[in-house]
Chains A and B, each alone.
Chain A
Amino acid sequence: MSPLTIVFALLFYTATLLLVVGLVRRIRLYAKTPAPLKIATTPAPINRSGVVMRMLREVVFFESLFKATKWTWLFGWLFHAALVAVLFRHLRYFTESATLMAAVTFVGPLFKYLAFVMLIGLLGLWVRRLAVDRVRYISAPSDHLMLLLLLLIGISGAMTTFVAHTDVVAVKGFFRALMTFNFDDMPNLPSDPLILVHLSLAALLMIVFPISKLLHAPGVFFSPTRNQIDNPRERRHLSDWARKLES
């Protein structure tokens, strides 16, 4: 194994560990913190299946953002939808399942161009952040850097597909070895700069995920204004700390 391969192996183990542990701890914190009062924004669903549908519309279509601002919705939704598609295509580096590989191969010719949609989405969001005085006012350096990070990951990734191919078989061998902890046949990671930039930044993204605004991803599911059932007259809603006030 080349020193470079060892460095990246350690980097990805560390990044994965930080991502998983960080997210699990954060999600546990959200789940454990009580929501003592019913605060759903109304009109709200009056049963559980209604709440599931509301959440689905929020997560899949960005319903509230659509109501709020069409441009941000357009760029934000394009970015996220394309990101999902592009990530799906990345499964080919991690799976040996014939079905999944067939699916990835099937969508490949179309999905690989979605990288450009993703970049357009990100650029649109950045232009808005710079051009609209209200959004510029609320932006911290980290808000710009996050867009830069995502753009660089997208650009470097797209370049390995459209400009300078990397040895994808070796990349897959590298990640399969990491995932199975079987290092006997582990190939060396290709050393072309594009893939190294792409992988380094992806690892960085994983590391900052649980300590940054990317927490909006788990956060949306825990938002009491969206996930509560509107039934306070039918059922008493009482948190543990509030119950203690009653004795």
Chain B
Amino acid sequence: MAKADFEVPKLNKYPEIPPVVPGAMAHSKPYVAKPAFQEPLNFPGELPEDWKDGAIEAMGDLLGKYRSLRVHLDSCVKCGACTDKCHYYLGTQDPKNMPVGRQDLLRKVYRRYFTFAGKFFPKLVGAEDLTEEVLDDWYSYFHQCSQCRRCAVFCPYGIDTAEISMAAREIMDRIGVGQKYCNEIIGKVHKIGNNLGLPEAALADTLEGLEEDVEEETGVAVKYPLDVRGAEILLVTPSADFFAEPHVDGLIGYGKVFHEAGVSWTLSSHASEAANFGLFIGSYENMRRVSLRIREAALELGVKRIVFGECGHAWRVAYNFLHTLAGPLDFLDSRYPVPQHILEFTWDEIQKGTLHFDKSANDHMVITYHDSCNVARASRMGDEPGGQFKIPRNVIKAVCNHFVDMAPETIQEATFCCGGGGGLLTDDLIELRVKGAKPRVEALQNVIEAHGVTHMAAICAICKSQFGKVLPYYELERDMIVSVHQLVSNAIVLTGQDDPDQGERDPAEVKGESE
């Protein structure tokens, strides 16, 4: 078990709603961004003297720009429907981690400065002046929200705490109080092209290494191309896919699928990142700048399609916002979805029958599937609503013999966040991340005990990294977490592939066996 200087929550057989413990997580704060990390994002470096006016002005600006913020700050009736829905509340018991408790940190200031009742009867309606203590609370608790939108599903008015957290972070950024983790990373994307700051040469090197590994293992020369002009497909994938386990096994899988499908594809060194942390800090301008890199890369390379790798919030930004931020994308082939998810691509190919699998390659695993919050509640795959639940499961079942779902109230649209999303995947928030993972790990533990589940598949770089880090705190193995395309990669039988046991096998024959 990983060492913790805080109490790791106990897992229960049945989910329970814990009592409130005010202030339980007031100490949790991520590192503040230094001026050097603020300026590339066009934010001031330090808190100015007139920061209160600046914050109120920023709030007014956002109220005029975002209907969600305006309507959601007005509409709450404090019914309490959301109070037991947030994984951070369930894991920490801090009432300011109840979605409405979090919203109220901003709402009380909104009421004080922007509503009649709050201006004239502040005590009556719970309105408060903006003070240093309030700002302190903002910084602490708006960095305890992973913007997973589970609360928004259950709110009778669709009030979305993610929208409110994003607005709060944008307000803080505009008065020079940014979060180091997010803002440093966004700076790297602006400057180098990916979150990890991986330069082109290193990227090329890594991909070459992958090609060697795959060829050594399979005997087939699967290519992992970079900056190939005229390729049909541009693959945009989170940079974690380039080196970290289990992410890279997913990337190996995408390459094998493209290879078998017989399409030409390429990665781009200019847009070597699917993630878009501009979303997390609520900054339309930064989110747009990051997205435009993808448009530029697609135009420069002359591709016809854009496909996104396994990444939750990246898929939200791609699916819902790419046209808005970096459109029009009418230079791409309109016969295919623009953009397309790698799972949509793989599922299409499976249905066409171009891929052949030996499902027994995954027989050492009993798999469950973690719906990533942004894919589940903020995007779609395929033509039908809910395709984002079906298609990943269809693909897993096509390549694995043993699949079990977790409890229904913890999957699909009610899925629990991994605890590390929304710009919180940083070591300075490890206590929050461990505690926030509790509801998901609890559901996982229950299927481990009931069905002998050995692995959990995910399609999000943040989920994969987060689980790898926090599972050991719950006495589970860090390598329980796998990429969906890792499972695909394990089972796929490449045309002409060596088989160490039986010599060269005919893919069609293998397919027959597995059915």
Residues of A within 8 A of B (CB): 26, 29-30, 33-39, 41-46, 58, 62, 64-65, 67-69, 72, 76, 125, 128-129, 132-135, 137-143, 145, 208, 211-213, 215-216, 219-220, 222-226, 230, 232-233, 235-239, 241-242, 245
Contacts and interface: CB of A to CB of B under 8 A. Distances in A.
Given A37-B284, A219-B75, 15 more contacts: A36-B65, A41-B149, A43-B388, A68-B82, A72-B81, A129-B78, A132-B80, A132-B83, A134-B83, A140-B125, A211-B116, A213-B78, A215-B75, A220-B157, A224-B71
Given A38-B320, A38-B324, A134-B80, A219 B71 contact: yes
Most buried by B among A26, A125, A216, A242: A216
Nearest to A38: B320
B135 interface: no
29 contacts: A33-B66, A34-B66, A36-B284, A37-B284, A39-B160, A43-B388, A65-B154, A67-B154, A68-B154, A134-B95, A135-B83, A138-B95, A138-B104, A140-B124, A140-B126, A142-B117, A143-B77, A145-B124, A212-B117, A213-B74, A213-B78, A216-B74, A220-B75, A224-B158, A225-B160, A233-B339, A239-B65, A242-B284, A245-B284
B327 interface: yes
Contacts of B63: 33
B380 A211 contact: no
A30 B63 CA distance: 10
Interface string B320-344: 1101100110000000011100000
Among B157, B284, B288, B377, the one with the most A-chain Cβ atoms within 10 Å of its Cβ is B157
A152 to B, nearest CB: 17
A67 B386 CA distance: 17
Contacts of A36: 65-66, 284, 324
Given A45-B385, A67-B153, A135-B78, A30 B67 contact: yes
Contacts of B385: 42-46, 230
Nearest to A75: B79
For chain B, the bracket of interface size reads 35 or more
B81 A220 contact: no
A68 B284 contact: no
A42 B413 contact: yes
Nearest to B115: A211
B86 to A, nearest CB: 11
Contacts of B64: 33
Contacts of B117: 142, 208, 211-212
Nearest to B387: A43
Contacts of B285: 245
Contacts of A134: 17, 20, 80, 83-84, 95, 98
Contacts of A139: 78
A42 B125 contact: no
B71 A237 contact: no
Given A62-B156, A142-B126, A222-B67, A41 B80 contact: no
Contact of A33 (B67, B337, B380): B67
A236 B324 contact: yes
A236 B20 CA distance: 44
Q: Among the interface residues A41, A215, A236, which one has the most CB atoms of the partner chain B within 10 A?
A: A41
A42 B67 contact: no
B152 interface: yes
Interface in B202-218: none
A218 to B, nearest CB: 9
B186 to A, nearest CB: 17
A225 B162 CA distance: 11
B253 interface: no
Given A216-B76, A223-B157, A223-B159, A30 B70 contact: yes
A64 B68 contact: no
The 7 A-B residue pairs whose C-beta atoms are closest, nearest first, are A140-B126, A219-B75, A43-B385, A68-B154, A225-B158, A135-B80, A68-B81
